[in-house]
Chain A
Amino acid sequence: MRTQSARMGDSLYIYLTGELDECTVSRAREEADNAIDRSTGCSRAIFNLAGVRFMDSTGIGFLIGRYKKLQRYGMRMYLENPNPDADKILSLSGVYSLMPKL
């Protein structure tokens, strides 16, 4: 699992690559949170999931956790490019109502 981030204008982009599960989530959490803490001037964070090859409900918990953190900073959260498998569990768990898909 790899987490990379980039700032463009007032948007923070977080790119996740790999398999997001119980084993990889703590590192992803730490890296995403560091990126968010460094970008508190941004108005929104966009999580790009194109590189996520596998994700289970631990990944949903991870995304909801980041959503709550971003909320405390007054930042909105969006998701982009989930693969069809990730899209299926994201839809099932209703997270798109909190963090819309771009």
Chain B
Amino acid sequence: MNEMYLKFLSRSENEIFARNVVAAFALPLNPTLDELSDVKTAVSEAVTNCIVHGYRGSEGWILLKCKTEGDFLHIEISDDGRGIEDVEQALTPFYTTLPDEERSGMGFTIMQTFMTAFSVQSEAGKGTKVRMSKQFGAKATEDAR
């Protein structure tokens, strides 16, 4: 088991930093390139949400926690931003609160699809916390059966 915390400002240049940190942290679990790419994309989506929605128009801290456990990587990404009023609606594919900004509304759908487990906890005015896990080698195990 290994663990790490990272706290960084909600600036878009930190997206590439955050996803690469998580990818580097996950390397000892021997992920495939596909699996690593899934994780990087999911992290990028969660961090984008903190910047674009959570701290819209202002700057704040984003907290990234990672933990490895067996062949699992657990990731928690949270902000103290404005939060989500209706989480269920936010999870709907193609739903976006910012239709004028060329947002695809696919962020949560991508996180859900690319990761083994996903959950989001949020309340208006109280920030947002996304938890997701990836099991590495899951497909290889399935294929061997």
Chain A residues within 8 Å of B, Cβ to Cβ: 19, 21-23, 29, 54-58, 60-62, 64-65, 84-85, 88-89, 92-93
Asked if B15 and A21 make an inter-chain contact with CB atoms under 8 angstroms apart, the answer reads: yes
Chain B residues within 8 Å of A, Cβ to Cβ: 12-13, 15-16, 19, 34, 37, 40-41, 44-45, 48, 51-52, 101-107, 109-110, 113
**In the bound complex, CA of A44 to CA of B80 (Å):** 44
Asked if A22 and B109 make an inter-chain contact with CB atoms under 8 angstroms apart, the answer reads: no
Asked if A89 and B110 make an inter-chain contact with CB atoms under 8 angstroms apart, the answer reads: yes
Given contacts A21-B12, A92-B109, contact A56 B102 (CB under 8 A): no
Could you say which residues of chain A place their CB within 8 Å of the CB of B102? 29, 61-62, 64-65
Asked if A22 and B34 make an inter-chain contact with CB atoms under 8 angstroms apart, the answer reads: no
In the assembled complex, 16 residue pairs joining A and B whose CB atoms fall closer than 8 Å, in A order, are A22-B51, A23-B12, A29-B102, A57-B107, A61-B101, A62-B102, A64-B104, A65-B102, A85-B34, A85-B41, A89-B41, A89-B110, A92-B106, A92-B110, A92-B113, A93-B109
Tell me the nearest residue of chain B to A62, going by C-beta. Answer: B102
Tell me the nearest residue of chain B to A85, going by C-beta. Answer: B37
Tell me if B's interface is mostly helix, strand, loop or mixed. Answer: helix
- Nearest-CB distance from A12 to chain B (Å)? 19
- Nearest-CB distance from B98 to chain A (Å)? 9
Residue in B16, B51, B104 whose CB lies within 8 Å of A60: B104
**In the bound complex, CA of A39 to CA of B31 (Å):** 44
- Nearest-CB distance from B50 to chain A (Å)? 10
Residue in A23, A60, A85 whose CB lies within 8 Å of B106: A60
Asked if B45 and A57 make an inter-chain contact with CB atoms under 8 angstroms apart, the answer reads: yes
Tell me the nearest residue of chain A to B101, going by C-beta. Answer: A61
- Nearest-CB distance from B140 to chain A (Å)? 17
Could you say which residues of chain B place their CB within 8 Å of the CB of A61? 101-104
- Nearest-CB distance from B119 to chain A (Å)? 19
